[in-house]
Chains A and B, each alone.
With several copies, the nearest count.
Chain A
Amino acid sequence: MLQFIDTVGEAVAGIKDGSTVMIGGFGNAGQPFELIDALLDSGATDLTVVNNNAGQGDQGLALLIKEGRVRKMICSFPRQSDSWHFDAKFKAGEIELELVPQGNLAERIRAAGAGIGGFFTPTGYGTMLAEGKETRFLDGKWQVFETPIHADVALIKALKADGKGNLVYRKTARNFGPIMAAAAKHSIVQVSEIVPVGALDPENIVTPGIYVNSIVRVASAGIAEKVA
């Protein structure tokens, strides 16, 4: 049942220790910083986090990692010039890493939302990321068996929600939001604006409200951030 929630703190209050949490965003675009900060404040720990990266600088997911709340990262690109908190935890053996090619990450998340129990894809065949995985020759190519990534919760940033929970995004901040909303049992979305039912064109809705459970308005969210 869709809920409109007043604060990010209340929105994330139900996230339990040990949960698998998908976090939208690619780099800073679409990253729900306010929800991540609230998750940090909530004290939830022993989390498995699914995100394309493993945190940048001293904010958001990077802080969650720094504070030892993340048991395992499932991501495609953990190593960045400013991913020092992940780097330190990883080198200390204090965080588990499941490294997934970015397209497999996206398709595995999509599979979870679409009720697909597994699929074969050529990506990764013959590489160390496919070691130990089942392979099969299909459509003229060797392919690797990949399984869905399910989650308990998704934290997502969108531009606008209407009263039915339908979402639209902004430019490349869309990225993982729609597929994570579908893959998680409970989707928590921060938006910059909540508009009345009927204010979004039905042709242009990107995430239908059926995939959305909790919506919280965050004043800055979705407004173009100016990057120095």
Chain B
Amino acid sequence: MSTLETSLQTSAEPLGRNELAQLVARDIAPGSFVNLGIGQPTLVSNYLTEEQNITLHTENGMLGMGPEAVGEQIDGDLINAGKIPVTELPGASYFHHADSFAIMRGGHLDICVLGAFQVSAGGDLANWHTGAPDAIPAVGGAMDLATGAKDVFVMMTLLTRDGVSKLVEQCTYPLTGVGCVTRVYTDKAVFLTGPDGVTVRETFGCTFEELQALVPLPLKPAVS
């Protein structure tokens, strides 16, 4: 286990939502073009630094999206994909919906960050539909984001409220995309998913062995 001890990062406590967002933000390479999904992923924008020079895309037709609008900045014609009023940064551009989704679908975004119900060992993503028979399905741009970005990062709690792992061998919820997720950021660990299985990059408030006990699929510790 010596490689484990030298390579696998750990912290004493599980991460809160903001700490996790901060971690994701730090992992985004300078100059990247990024789409942040609705909900928890939006928090990432609070931790991007000016030096990183990240350009945010919103699928309703804009590159160069700025922070949420407040007070006099609020403009009903300038919203993000979550329909929240936002601002425009210098160097922004607007385009229509087909051009906007071509940016995603054509593989031009470096990273998109999404929430999830479940992620499978092979990187399958389920984040749009509970599959409950009376639920009204609504997919929005989730499938395009999952399929189109070069890297798909997922942010989620590792466990459901009932203590069941959302990182699973096979998704039981309806899929959003097949084999699309490359990293999973959770309160308890960061996982790298890929054809070789699931690797743990770091753990938060638990050891590798404690983490393995929570997740019903074989994990590998990262080696440097």
A and B touch in the complex (CB under 8 A): yes
B100 within 8 A of A: yes
Of all chain A residues, which has the CB nearest B129? Answer: A128
A30 to B75, CA, bound (A): 12
Cβ of B96 and Cβ of A178 under 8 Å apart? yes
A103-B148, A121-B105, A127-B174 known; A209-B55 Cβ under 8 A: yes
Most chain-B CB neighbours within 10 Å: which of A102, A104, A126?
A102
> Given that A1-B31, A113-B102 are contacting pairs, would A182 and B108 also be in contact in the complex, using a CB cutoff of 8 Å?
yes
Given contacts A101-B142, A172-B62, A202-B92, contact A106 B136 (CB under 8 A): no
Assess whether B60 is in contact with A115, with CB atoms less than 8 Å apart. no
Question: For the complex, what is the distance from the CA of A29 to the CA of B76, rounded to whole Å?
Answer: 6
A9: interface (CB < 8 Å): no
Choose from A2, A27, A101, A170 the contact partner of B139 (Cβ within 8 Å).
A101
Q: Please tell me if A13 contacts chain B, counting CB pairs below 8 Å.
A: no
Interface bits B102-139 vs A (CB < 8 Å: 1, else 0): 11111111000000000000001000010000111111
A19 to B80: give the CA distance in the assembly, Å. 31
Inter-chain contact total with CB atoms closer than 8 Å: 220
**Count of chain B residues near A, Cβ 8 A:** 61
**Which residues from A are CB-within-8-Å of B107?**
115
In B138-156, the 8 Å CB interface with A consists of 138-144, 147-148
- B63 touching A172 by the CB < 8 A rule? no
Complex CA–CA separation, A124 to B140 (angstroms): 12
Q: In the complex, how many angstroms separate the beta carbon of A219 from the nearest chain B beta carbon?
A: 15
Q: What is the bound-complex CA distance between A114 and B147, given in angstroms?
A: 12
Stretch at the interface among A36-44, A61-69, A158-166: A158-166
Q: How far is the CB of A206 from chain B (nearest CB, A)?
A: 7
- Of A86, A124, A163, A203, which is within 8 A of B143 by CB? A124
A225 to B77, CA, bound (A): 7
A208 touches B138 (CB 8 A): no
Q: Is B58 part of the binding interface, using a Cβ–Cβ cutoff of 8 Å?
A: yes
Q: Which of B20-28, B175-183, B196-204 contacts A (4 or more CB under 8 A)?
A: B175-183
CB of B65 to closest CB in A, whole Å: 9
Question: Which stretch from B1-9, B83-91, B162-170 is at the chain A interface?
Answer: B83-91
Whether the pair B147, A106 counts as a contact (CB closer than 8 A) is no
Chain A count of residues within 8 A CB distance of the other chain: 75
The verdict on B98 contacting chain A, using a C-beta distance below 8 Å, is: yes
Closest chain A residue to B72 by CB distance? A226
Collect the chain B residues with CB atoms within 8 Å of residue A170's CB: 77
Q: Are B177 and A126 in contact (CB under 8 A)?
A: yes
Q: Which of B30, B77, B148 contacts A224 (CB 8 A)?
A: B77
CB < 8 Å neighbour of A182 from B61, B79, B106, B137? B106
CB within 8 Å for A226 and B76 given contacts A77-B140, A101-B141, A123-B147: yes
Known: A91-B134, A128-B174, A202-B88. 15 other contacts (CB 8 A): A26-B61, A28-B76, A101-B143, A102-B140, A104-B144, A124-B143, A127-B176, A142-B178, A166-B91, A173-B77, A175-B61, A202-B64, A210-B33, A222-B77, A227-B74
Nearest 3 pairs of A and B residues by beta carbon: A225-B76, A103-B144, A198-B90
Interface pairs (11), CB distance under 8 Å = A1-B30, A101-B144, A102-B141, A104-B143, A125-B147, A172-B60, A178-B96, A179-B98, A202-B88, A224-B78, A225-B75
Contact residues of A with B, CB < 8 Å? Answer: 1-2, 26-30, 76-80, 86-87, 90-91, 97, 99-107, 109-110, 112-116, 121-129, 142, 162-164, 166, 169-179, 182, 197-198, 200, 202-203, 205-206, 208-211, 222, 224-227
